[in-house]
């Protein structure tokens, strides 16, 4: 994933710095002195704005520096020692977080998925089988469901999907956590019908991704009912996740939640991704996973890929067959029609 | 530690943002696209410059976001499962990191200190007693010594001190790790005779603090011999400590290690701290711990403290007696003579 | 799995106490005073005998109290922090050890199996895919392969199987561990061609099961090359697995390894299991997994099962379809032809 | 601590096997088939008898195999992730359990002791200081107090002591756990005024030691209010502490709690220890710690110790000065006047 300024880059959505408004706010506040560890006016202001955007007035909002870290803190906070977390086999915590959940002593319990999504039906089957197994007290008890929105495959849960999953969680007395690393790209998508308020209403905890959505870095962990994770501050510190200059995160999220910036920041990314998908279809490429967000997955013939890769940075996804590969392109909040045009010309 | 712009603030050295040169570099590179996770040209450049500053050409340099996190990654990497880490009872890992070392399964083994420093003599006694105890295989085996430079009390190890500690480590076959959260303030101190090169020569791992020393945030973990901690990248990821936009750290440290900025950035802090100490002595205050760096510890009468605290932000350190308190003032890289004058007028 | 003396019991192989010779040795040595923690003459003697039986004169032999505990100690000892353990999806550590491996911070990495066995081919595919994945340093690195002999399905690895798996481990520089909870029943099986010496030659560590194989309780963890797990004593203590009266285990294993008792103790179990399998086939039941050892898996119609279950204790294995169930019967070292006759009469 | 049958052995109280009644019960039940994992009639019966002895009719009683293991399971069960356990600096969990508590992620928080005992006063000071420290949310929060009865120094808490400690726990909302590894020797002591019922009334969890008190091995973990540690069975399994043939523990504890055996089993040990202490005083030895139970601590001149050690097995405790050593002798449930006479003759 090394980047070369000579090439077009569609490798991922964290290749640039911060949205200009975010960077400007950091510059403007730079020489102020404020308190540390998130106990400053900017973190306070950011939390107020996020609570307003979610219409969740008593939620706790805590700012952390990255997604794996945030998942680790939240999931350890939501689980009891002997419990595990259920997720799609493709869930980021199951595949690309270097065992951070297991490092905290918890088993990840993968279940089947479709395009990166789990269904209420499969979840119910899994939880029923567990409860009915005569030896289930020798097994890791599912205590939490992890989902991501958008998923690792760029797909979206509908409001109906989420409500059905929540219902199953309630039936079995387990919790629901949502990883929103790319949440802005869901919110910017015309096919999306799930609002921030819906997420706050349906999840026990979730995070609003900053790193991939316009911040220099940072994620906002939200617990609509703060009692769900008591002593969160100390937990964050214990994970090594508490930034001394916490206000650096507060300044960024305060800006992202001013004038609906977060809800709209993903629009250029989705618009350009749609154009790329349309061009791919037109040129006869096979699209995968039916992602409507800022990630585009498709099949390219290996010979063509060599040529393409010399000019465009992309992500290898998986081998398709001996002579074809699934690759991923990603657009970001700073996507331009010009870059898209250049890319399409190379397809 | 809340901060109020109306007050003078000497609460700590992480109350402002970044050194202007660091912030400028972040602004200038903001819209570039680079690879993620520290695999970018800026992280590469920063590592090259740090290796040059240490004259340690094969060292591994990894950028993390905070001190507790860096300690956790390094100490877990240096210890085997059944080993613990020896430190001064006042060591940051023993007191103010919320159990992050224990969270990774390792006992912190405190030994007596003097002004925050351990001595080679006390260390040898401890390690000898351990080895000679008939039941020592039922105990946590010391595998590493943790020290901080400057210490939590602002004091400094001399080169002679460090060499003596290293000698004891060698005798007992254990490792040495140095926490350099405030290292720039040691390097800027006229009483200091320990260079970056000395530290790289004597320690198995250490970190060069950025957060308190001019960076917006970030620390540089150095392993002079990279084999000491294999697969460091994956370990950092597992801790949730790997920044997706790693280049944000590379840009900062590359700037800090240009034109000797890091070695000189602490000069204003130490200069103003010296002035404050001189004024305190002159006014008859009792100084504590004999810190020559940017932290100033002294005793104030409680009634006076109320008045003082209304105008100056400080850190409570500990109760001295029923009517007196030990407090800490800290200066930083942006300290000015003007602020010092205002403070002295209030003493 | 509650047991009722009125019923025939084929629920498992740990329903009785110890082999009479083992119990007699415990009685005879009961009032002696010996040193603790396995540092006694009986543990020494048992280790000498086990080393002789394995023809592995420098192996370390450590006695623990149960299988999950032994797996946890061995696997943590063999893995570095950031590594995981590969096993069949049906591996005991992946299903019925309540997350003990994850509790120590390690991910279990399940791969496909056939009748509870993994193949060298599937293992090589998995390890190749891992190494070739561009993002593998964000993933849990496989550091060890876990297999069980006999497997959880009663099946056996042949010597050829084991050598092929070892070869793949060598290719990828990872270790091999064997769970021998029921090892005596493999050794007693005419179809088995894997000796204790073979296991010691091919595995980095393994355990010889006592609990299910004639001991009152206890397992013998063997590391043919003791350097593979340094400081094992302290590791065992740290896990809470060190028995103060370690000699209780030494006495048992010393007896089990006198006059080839361990190698022959499973003969009655396998003989009677073979008779049961023959009877099942004759009566038209569908056998599952083709186990040649002391576990018998077969399909029973649910109505019949109600009647059968009123008279015989068995283990539920899994649902076969809406009207059938897979059940398991197990024989043990004290199996008698009389009990088998009674059982067959009820089929 | 190796033992030689030629020598008198006063090295510890776990050098012999089981009380004859316990061994007889194991022999008598040996060939019965029962359910596994503690779900058998003997474990049920033992729990009923223990509940009756404690007059705590709804307590949960779980049988484990050793003390370190039991402490690890109980303490992890009673603490939340970010909490630590307060104990005397001499507490077994702080010194001789190889970091088992830290292995589960929890810091041990040592406070000053006197003869192995903590006082309500010191405990209150510690907890008050913690609560008042401005930075306490960066520190490990005390969640539990660990005490042992008798202590590691053979001393006893009085009922008044325990009630005072409980009161402080209640004030600060933290729990109380008691390690009863040698509880029978407290119960057998004329100076003791703390009953099993008192312990059940005052502690959130505790264990009744078997290994050192007449069992072949095993401890009974009691939670007077089972809700204090939910899903204890699975927790025990996860620790690798669940014995497949759990009934082996049930049989032993059922015997120990028949006809007040447990309450009286320590009488010979205390009687003979008293005689040894009287003889030591008479001969002018300095006794240490004022232990009234089965452990005897005293000072011996090093030259004398060489001679003494050639004939008697003892435990080294600590260096007293250059020419003297503190040693420990321990008697057990099978102590005889004859052995004591032989020992006294050698003093």
pLDDT in tens, chain B (347 residues): 344 557 899 999 999 999 999 999 999 999 999 999 999 999 999 999 999 999 999 999 999 999 999 999 999 999 999 999 999 999 999 999 999 999 999 999 999 999 999 999 999 999 999 998 889 999 999 999 999 999 999 999 999 999 999 999 999 999 999 999 999 999 999 999 999 999 999 999 999 999 999 999 999 999 999 999 999 999 999 999 999 999 999 999 999 999 999 999 999 999 999 999 999 999 999 999 989 999 999 999 999 999 999 999 999 999 999 999 999 999 999 999 999 999 999 99
**Would you call B81 and C235 a contact, using CB atoms and an 8 Å cutoff?**
yes
Please check whether residue C142 is in contact with residue C84, taking contact to mean a CB–CB distance below 8 angstroms: yes
Report d(CA C166, CA A326) in Å as an integer.
33
Structure confidence at residue A6 (pLDDT): 75
Please check whether residue B149 is in contact with residue B175, taking contact to mean a CB–CB distance below 8 angstroms: no
Q: Does D135 touch chain B (CB under 8 A)?
A: yes
Tens digit of each residue's pLDDT (9 = 90 or more) over C163-216: 999 999 999 999 999 999 999 999 999 999 999 999 999 999 999 999 999 999
Give every CB contact of residue C339 below 8 A, 6+ residues apart in sequence. C8, C272
Q: How many CB atoms lie within 10 A of CB B322?
A: 6
Average pLDDT over residues A320-339: 97
How does strand A315-321 pair with strand A324-330? antiparallel
Q: Does A338 touch chain B (CB under 8 A)?
A: no
User: Residues 80 to 109 of C: which have CB under 8 A from any D CB?
Assistant: 97-100, 103-104
**C294-323 exposure pattern, b = at least 16 Cβ within 10 A, e = fewer:** bbbbbbbeeeebeebeeebbbbbbeebeee
Q: C266-346 — its CATH code?
A: 3.90.1150.10
Both structure tokens of C319:
């649902």
The answer to whether the pTM exceeds 0.90 is yes
Helix (H) or strand (E) holding A77: helix A67-78
Give every CB contact of residue D254 below 8 A, 6+ residues apart in sequence. D25, D42, D45, D46, D49
Q: Which residue has the tokens 């309780």?
A: C217
Which among B82, B105, B231 is the nearest to C82, CB-wise? B231
Please check whether residue A67 is in contact with residue A219, taking contact to mean a CB–CB distance below 8 angstroms: yes
Q: Average pLDDT over chain D, rounded to whole?
A: 96
**A292-305 exposure pattern, b = at least 16 Cβ within 10 A, e = fewer:** bbbbbbbbbeeeeb
Q: What is the chain C residue with the closest CA to B242? A: C138
Give every CB contact of residue D33 below 8 A, 6+ residues apart in sequence. C3, C5, C9, C15, C16
Q: Does C14 touch chain D (CB under 8 A)?
A: yes
Average pLDDT over residues A292-321: 96
Query: Which percentage of chain C shows pLDDT scores above 70?
Result: 99
Please check whether residue C291 is in contact with residue C153, taking contact to mean a CB–CB distance below 8 angstroms: yes
Tens digit of each residue's pLDDT (9 = 90 or more) over A88-111: 999 999 999 999 999 999 999 999
Q: In chain C, which ranges are continuous DSSP H helix?
A: 20-29, 41-54, 67-78, 92-95, 100-103, 120-132, 159-172, 183-187, 196-202, 232-238, 247-256, 261-264, 267-282, 302-309, 337-346
Report helix, strand and coil shares of chain D as percent, to nearest 5.
40, 20, 40
Query: Which percentage of chain D shows pLDDT scores above 90?
Result: 96
Cα four-point dihedral sign B80, B82, B85, B86: negative
Q: How many CB atoms lie within 10 A of CB A98?
A: 28
Residue in D80, D38, D45 with CA at minimum distance from that of residue D253: D45
Please check whether residue B19 is in contact with residue B261, taking contact to mean a CB–CB distance below 8 angstroms: yes
To the question of domain B20-260 being in CATH 3.30.390.10, the answer is no
Report helix, strand and coil shares of chain A as percent, to nearest 5.
40, 20, 40
Report d(CA B168, CA B170) in Å as an integer.
5
Q: What are the residue ranges spanned by the domains of chain C?
A: 20-264, 266-346
Nearest Cα of chain A lies from the Cα of C100 at a distance, in angstroms, of: 8
Which among A82, A233, A238 is the nearest to D238, CB-wise? A82
Report d(CA B131, CA B328) in Å as an integer.
39
Nearest Cα of chain A lies from the Cα of B15 at a distance, in angstroms, of: 5
- Beta-ladder partners of B319: B325
Which one-letter DSSP state was computed for residue C319? E
Give every CB contact of residue A341 below 8 A, 6+ residues apart in sequence. none
- Contacts of residue C76 in chain B, CB cutoff 8 Å? 81
User: Residues 16 to 45 of A: which have CB under 8 A from any B CB?
Assistant: 16-18, 20, 23, 26-27, 29-37, 39-40
Report d(CA B134, CA C117) in Å as an integer.
45
Structure confidence at residue D1 (pLDDT): 39
**Would you call C137 and B230 a contact, using CB atoms and an 8 Å cutoff?**
no
Please check whether residue A330 is in contact with residue A13, taking contact to mean a CB–CB distance below 8 angstroms: yes
Tell me how many degrees the CA angle B110-B116-B118 measures, rounded to the nearest 5.
60
Average pLDDT over residues A12-36: 97
Structure confidence at residue A5 (pLDDT): 56
Residue A1: pLDDT band (50, 70, 90) is very low
Interface A:C, Cβ pairs < 8 A: 56
Please check whether residue A208 is in contact with residue A262, taking contact to mean a CB–CB distance below 8 angstroms: yes
Q: Does B234 touch chain C (CB under 8 A)?
A: yes
Report d(CA C330, CA C293) in Å as an integer.
9
Tens digit of each residue's pLDDT (9 = 90 or more) over A170-180: 999 999 999 99
Right CATH number for A8-15+265-346 from 3.90.1150.10, 3.40.50.720, 3.30.2270.10, 3.30.2290.10?
Answer: 3.90.1150.10
Phi, psi dihedrals of residue B315, rounded to the nearest 5°: -110, 130
- Beta-ladder partners of D109: D86
Right CATH number for C20-264 from 3.40.50.880, 3.40.640.10, 2.40.110.10, 1.10.3720.10?
Answer: 3.40.640.10
Rounded to the nearest 10°, the torsion over CA D148, D150, D153, D157 is 80
Please check whether residue D71 is in contact with residue D239, taking contact to mean a CB–CB distance below 8 angstroms: no
To the question of domain A20-261 being in CATH 3.40.640.10, the answer is yes
The SS3 assignment for C24 reads helix
Helix (H) or strand (E) holding A302: helix A302-309
Structure confidence at residue D2 (pLDDT): 44
**Would you call D98 and B105 a contact, using CB atoms and an 8 Å cutoff?**
no
Which among A37, A98, A248 is the nearest to B234, CB-wise? A98
């Amino acid at each position: 994933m090394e980047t070369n300024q000579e090439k077009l880059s569609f490798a991922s959505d964290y290749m640039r710095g911060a949205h200009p408004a975010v960077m400007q706010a950091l510059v403007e506040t730079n020489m102020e002195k404020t308190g540390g560890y998130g106990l400053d006016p900017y973190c306070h202001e950011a939390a107020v704005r996020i609570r307003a955007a979610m219409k969740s007035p008593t939620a706790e909002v805590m700012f952390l520096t990255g997604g794996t870290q945030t998942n680790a803190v939240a999931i350890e906070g939501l689980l009891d020692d002997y419990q595990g977390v259920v997720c799609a086999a493709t869930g980021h915590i199951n595949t690309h977080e270097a065992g951070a959940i297991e490092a905290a002593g918890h088993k990840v319990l993968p279940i089947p998925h479709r395009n990166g999504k789990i269904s209420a039906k499969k979840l119910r089957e899994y939880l029923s089988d567990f409860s009915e197994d005569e030896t289930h007290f020798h097994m890791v008890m599912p205590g939490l469901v992890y989902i991501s929105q958008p998923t690792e495959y760029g797909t979206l849960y509908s409001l109906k999907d989420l409500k059905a999953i929540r219902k199953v969680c309630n039936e079995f007395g387990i919790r629901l956590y949502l990883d929103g690393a790319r949440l802005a790209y869901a919110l910017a998508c015309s096919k999306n019908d799930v609002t921030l308020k819906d997420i706050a209403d349906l999840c026990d905890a979730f995070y609003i991704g900053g790193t991939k959505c316009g911040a220099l870095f940072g994620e906002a962990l939200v617990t609509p009912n703060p009692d769900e994770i008591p002593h969160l501050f100390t937990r964050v510190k214990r994970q090594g996740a508490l930034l001394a200059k916490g206000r650096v995160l507060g300044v960024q999220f305060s800006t992202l939640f001013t004038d609906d910036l977060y809800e709209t920041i993903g629009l250029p990314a989705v618009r350009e991704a749609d154009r790329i998908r349309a061009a791919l279809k037109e040129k006869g490429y096979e699209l995968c996973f039916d992602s409507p967000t800022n990630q585009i997955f498709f099949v390219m013939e290996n010979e063509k890929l060599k040529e393409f890769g010399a000019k465009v940075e992309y992500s290898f996804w998986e081998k398709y067959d001996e002579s074809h590969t699934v690759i991923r392109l990603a657009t970001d909040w700073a996507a331009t029609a010009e870059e898209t045009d250049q890319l399409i010309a190379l397809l």
